[in-house]
Structures are given as C-alpha cells and as structure tokens.
Chains A and B, each alone.
Chain A
Amino acid sequence: MSVTRQVRSDHQLARLLQIGMVLEEVVEARAYKHAQELDDEELDADVRALLEHAAEESADHRGRLEALVAELDAESIPFDQIEGLVEAQYGQTKPEDFDGVLYDQLCNEETAYKFYDDLIDAIEASDAQFGIERERLVATLRAIREEEADGVEEVTRLMEDRE
C-alpha cells in the first residue's frame, strides 16, 4: 500500500489512463442514451445539444487517452466488452427524470474533472521517467481537464436557467 499520491511506472500510468478511457465511455454512453430516450417535449434544444456535445467530446477524450496508452508498453484492455458492460448496467442506474439527467451529466463532468486533476497531481509528484514525454502528457491531460471544467460550467448554467 502506498499513501503517497504518485504515479511510479509506465504500467501504473497506463492503467490510470485506461480507467480514464472507461470513465469517458461511461459519459459518452450515458449522454447518448439520455438524448435518445427522452423525447423533444421533455428535452429542450439546449439540453439536447449539451448531451450530444458531451458524447462527442468524450469520444474525442477517449481517443486522446488511447493514443497516449499506445505509446506506453501496456497490455490492451477488452474495450468491446467494456462497451457491453456500460450498456448493460445503464438500465439499472439511469436517472428517472429530466432533472436527474442534468444532475447525472453534472456528476459525469465533475467526476472526470476530479479524476484528471488527481492524475495530473500524481504525475507531477513523481520523478519517474515515463515512456511518454512528461510535458506532452501533462499538457494533454490539462487540456482535457479544462474541457471537463467547461462542461461543468455549461451544465450548471442550464440547471440555473431551469430554476
């Protein structure tokens, strides 16, 4: 057990990036499902646009993380199986109403932000040499984190507009 928040090896870094990929898959799948399941009466144009943008952005983030993992010496993860799991479990955890959809989206964006924030801290706290240039790694993660922060702001604004 290590109480120090540090990423110590390529293997550990790859595993954390893979966890990020799964989180992005969760965001993408849930945003897509929410947009699909609610009709136009329940979902106004702004919220539909937000969900579609969130799904697209998460797919893009996942691609950027995947490109980083590909540069590390790491075993691949069973991504087809993960898509199936996310899909299968969605029915049990989906929000019950429109407010729940926005809250779920807020939770997705905040969770992703927190994950990247902790990951960047843990990389910066480490003096390990990674198989990826550290500056580029951190710059990519920071850019993704900023997009998650923008997402939190956007959902919060929509929630406030509804009050």
Chain B
Amino acid sequence: MNTADQYLKAIYLIQEQENGPAATGRLADALDVSPASANEMIGKLEGRGLADHEKYKGVSLTDEGIVRARDALRTYCIIERFLVEVLDVEEFRTEARQLESVIDDTVADRLDTIIDRESECPDCFDPEADVCTLLEAEYPLADSEPAD
C-alpha cells in the first residue's frame, strides 16, 4: 500500500471515530510521522482532489478520497486475514501494521483468492480497536500482543 493510501486510510478511520475532520496532530501520531510530514502529504492529497483541509479544524476526505480510503482499508483487512488464516500468525495485528507499506493492492487481491473474507468488508473494521471485528471475534487479542 503506498504512502498516500496509508494516509487516506488513517484519515478515514479518525473521521469515523471523531465523526468530523481529522486533526493533523492526531493523524501524525497515528502514522508515527512528524506534523510537517503529515501537512506535506495533506497538501498533496488536496491537490489530487482526495481531501480538504480547513485550518484549525483538520482534514476531511472528499467522496473520491473516501472510495480510495475504503479500498485501502479492504487491502489492510486482506493482509490481516491472510496472515492469520493462511500463515497462522498469532500476532497478525502487529505484523499487518509492519507489512502494509510493502504489500501492494494488486498483491493483496491475489492473496484474497485463498482466504474467506466476508462481503461486509471493510465495514467490519473497528476504528477504535484498529482491527477487523470479525477477526477479533475469531482470534481474540492474545495477552502477549501489544495493542499499540
């Protein structure tokens, strides 16, 4: 997933939680980047018509940005489910976060051909818990896994 798509996904999830624009500081924290880097990418997303930024309020996705963000979230759900269902990775939440920047959506689509994913994806994703709720029910968070 490229950097722009990771930003779109993060903005989408923060907007879902806040029910409003995503503050730049919160976005930077979620992505573990500096506020300056976040601002730079927000500018690029605005330039591509994917987001709107309002000073002191934060960033909101446009309709096109929402479509792209939901695609990115779907890719993330595929990575999580692939890790746990196919590779038996117990700490799939942590590993999905580590691997998402290297797994392209075309690759994820191929991985999707060998997993059982529900049709409600990506609405199954819980922004608060940062995990697919269906996976959360099937594979509850182990005590050893950090929730970060």
Q: A3-B7, A77-B88 are in contact. Are A22 and B104 (CB under 8 A)?
A: no
B3 at the interface (CB under 8 A from A): yes
What does DSSP make chain A's interface, helix, strand, loop or mixed? helix
Number of contacts between A and B (CB, 8 Å)? Answer: 86
Interface hits, A59-96 → B, CB 8 Å:
77-78, 81-82, 85-86, 89, 93
Interface residues of A (CB under 8 A from B): 1-8, 12, 15-16, 18-19, 22-23, 26, 77-78, 81-82, 85-86, 89, 93, 107-108, 110-111, 114-115, 118-119, 122
Residue of B nearest to A122 (CB): B102
Closest CB in chain A relative to B133 CB, distance in Å: 19
CA distance A49 to B107 in the complex (A): 25
Which residues of chain A are within 8 angstroms of B111 by Cβ–Cβ distance? 19, 22-23
Q: Are B107 and A115 touching (Cβ within 8 A)?
A: yes
Q: Are B6 and A3 touching (Cβ within 8 A)?
A: yes
Q: A2-B97, A16-B102 are in contact. Are A85 and B86 (CB under 8 A)?
A: yes
Q: Are B99 and A1 touching (Cβ within 8 A)?
A: no
Q: Are A2 and B110 touching (Cβ within 8 A)?
A: no
With beta carbons under 8 angstroms apart, the residue of A2, A18, A78, A85 that contacts B114 is A85
CA distance A8 to B101 in the complex (A): 12
Q: Are A7 and B32 touching (Cβ within 8 A)?
A: no
Q: A85-B86, A110-B106, A118-B104 are in contact. Are A1 and B114 (CB under 8 A)?
A: no
Closest CB in chain A relative to B6 CB, distance in Å: 5
With beta carbons under 8 angstroms apart, the residue of A3, A82, A111 that contacts B101 is A3
Interface residues of B (CB under 8 A from A): 3, 6-7, 10, 30-33, 82, 85-89, 95, 97-104, 106-107, 109-111, 113-115
Q: Are B104 and A2 touching (Cβ within 8 A)?
A: no
Q: A114-B104, A114-B107 are in contact. Are A93 and B33 (CB under 8 A)?
A: no
Q: Are A3 and B110 touching (Cβ within 8 A)?
A: no
A–B complex contacts, Cβ < 8 Å, 15 sampled:
A3-B31, A4-B101, A5-B3, A5-B101, A15-B89, A18-B87, A19-B82, A19-B103, A22-B114, A78-B88, A108-B110, A111-B109, A115-B104, A118-B103, A122-B102
Q: Are A26 and B10 touching (Cβ within 8 A)?
A: no
Closest CB in chain A relative to B36 CB, distance in Å: 14
Q: Are A23 and B31 touching (Cβ within 8 A)?
A: no
CA distance A123 to B106 in the complex (A): 20
Closest CB in chain B relative to A108 CB, distance in Å: 7
